[in-house]
């Protein structure tokens, strides 16, 4: 009798597991999710929306563009957008200030940028005293520029970092020489070349782990809404699978969000950022976080005492991996 009862119980669990996605879909949970830049590094959150993966797991997601990681993280801490896809640097800085922000995934753990300069800049050293445009002070591109230039001997205080906003705004400022340098991702790299700017250094070729961006939440939200996060992560990981295994479909979504008609720059963005840099299992990189902590500890003593795991919660990703969910996607 006990054995039959146990078998019936297993059958019930199996049925619930099979029906779970459709059950979620019947009662969708409204959710604001922010992203910080119109660039190929954001493709996973776009694909999860356009391919219906959020809806599949019972989430009615409204995507919100908040330019620059500091702004998105401020919205996260304020409870306006409980999940953000943002630059890791702002998450770490906020966490050190006591906000409790953490990364639960990090799909791109390398620099996705190319450094573009005006004609007067012939070598990296020429950037001293020049204006370097970034999306927002404290943003991912700002942190990446500081990190790489520091390794090349140009210190943070030797460059005038200017909060210049969107990529079109930065390109316009470069054309008038209001800025002398900025970091760009494909396909903006093609546009920069078309208007006469020069690529000085390709950051994507640097063999350095760096936590570029990721999915961030607060520890309070993890306690309050763990099931929401689990469902979001299923959609996010499924979007990664789609992007890596369906080039034409992924490029179509890129084309929509990047608002580009020409296929050539879309293909470059897909091949140079999505294919080259995206990880199937998006664990944040601890060495990549440590690099940023090392950079911060000069002006923030708390960074010297912190360790990379203080800024991550990979329990949801571990659950997905242990369940076989990710392996099944790629079979």
Question: What does each C-alpha distance from 15 to 12, 94, 231 come to in angstroms?
Answer: 5, 42, 18
**Tell me, what's the pLDDT at 9?**
43
d(CA 259, CA 181): 24
Tokens of 283: 């664990």
d(CA 48, CA 45): 5
**Tell me, what's the pLDDT at 7?**
41
> Domains (ranges, CATH) in the chain?
20-109+211-329 (3.40.190.10), 114-205 (3.40.190.10)
d(CA 181, CA 200): 9
153: Cα within 13 Å, side-chain hemisphere: 4
**Tell me, what's the pLDDT at 215?**
98
Tokens of 270: 């897909």
Q: Is 228 helix (H, G, I), strand (E, B) or coil?
A: helix
How many C-beta atoms lie closer than 10 Å to residue 121's C-beta? 18
d(CA 23, CA 16): 9
Residues forming beta bridges with residue 173, ordered by sequence position: none
> What is the β-pairing status of strands 101-108 and 160-163?
unpaired
**Tell me, what's the pLDDT at 26?**
67
Q: Nearest CA to 131 among 140, 143, 120, 139? A: 120
d(CA 17, CA 65): 34
Q: What is the CA radius of gyration of the chain?
A: 21
**Tell me, what's the pLDDT at 27?**
85
- Please, which residues have CB within 8 angstroms of residue 69's CB and are 6 or more apart in sequence? 36, 86, 87, 88, 89, 90, 91, 136, 138, 139, 140, 213
Answer positive or negative: Cα dihedral of 58, 83, 213, 267: positive
d(CA 41, CA 38): 8
Answer positive or negative: Cα dihedral of 285, 124, 299, 113: negative
Under 8 Å between Cβ of 162 and 133: yes
Question: What does each C-alpha distance from 239 to 41, 44, 189, 199, 252 come to in angstroms?
Answer: 13, 5, 25, 31, 14
Question: What does each C-alpha distance from 37 to 60, 209, 228 come to in angstroms?
Answer: 21, 21, 24
**Tell me, what's the pLDDT at 2?**
44
Q: What is the mean pLDDT of each run of 10 residues along the chain (331 residues)?
A: 45 41 68 94 97 98 93 95 94 96 95 95 97 91 92 94 92 95 92 93 91 95 98 98 98 96 92 94 96 90 96 98 97 90
> What is the β-pairing status of strands 29-35 and 83-87?
parallel
């Amino acid at each position: 009798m006990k054995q039959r009862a146990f078998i019936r119980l297993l059958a019930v669990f199996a049925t619930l597991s099979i029906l779970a996605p459709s059950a979620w879909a019947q009662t969708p949970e409204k959710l604001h999710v922010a992203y910080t830049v119109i660039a190929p590094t954001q493709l996973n959150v776009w694909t999860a929306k356009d391919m219906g993966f959020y809806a599949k797991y019972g989430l009615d997601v409204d995507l919100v563009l908040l330019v620059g990681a500091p702004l998105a993280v401020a919205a996260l801490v304020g409870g306006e957008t409980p999940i953000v896809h943002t630059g890791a640097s702002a998450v770490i800085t906020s966490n050190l200030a006591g906000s409790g922000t953490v990364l639960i995934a990090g799909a791109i753990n390398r620099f996705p940028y190319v450094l573009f300069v005006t004609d007067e800049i012939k070598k990296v050293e020429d950037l001293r005293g020049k204006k370097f445009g970034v999306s927002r002070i404290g943003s991912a591109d700002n942190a990446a520029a500081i990190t790489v230039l520091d390794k090349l001997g140009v210190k943070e205080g030797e460059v005038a970092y200017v909060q210049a906003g969107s990529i079109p705004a930065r390109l316009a400022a470069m054309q008038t020489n209001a800025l002398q340098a900025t970091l760009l991702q494909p396909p903006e790299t093609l546009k920069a070349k078309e208007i006469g700017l020069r690529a000085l250094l390709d950051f994507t070729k640097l063999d350095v782990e760096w936590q570029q961006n990721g999915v961030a939440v607060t520890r309070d939200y993890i306690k309050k809404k763990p099931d929401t996060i689990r469902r979001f992560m299923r959609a996010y990981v499924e979007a990664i699978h789609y992007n890596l295994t369906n080039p034409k479909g992924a490029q179509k979504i890129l084309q929509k969000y990047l608002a580009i008609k020409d296929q050539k720059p879309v293909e470059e963005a897909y091949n140079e950022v999505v294919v080259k840099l995206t990880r199937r299992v998006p664990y944040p990189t601890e060495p990549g976080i440590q690099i940023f902590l090392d950079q911060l500890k000069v002006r923030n003593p708390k960074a010297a005492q912190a360790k990379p795991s203080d800024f991550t919660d990979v329990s949801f990703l571990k659950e997905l991996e242990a369940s076989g969910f990710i392996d099944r996607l790629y079979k």
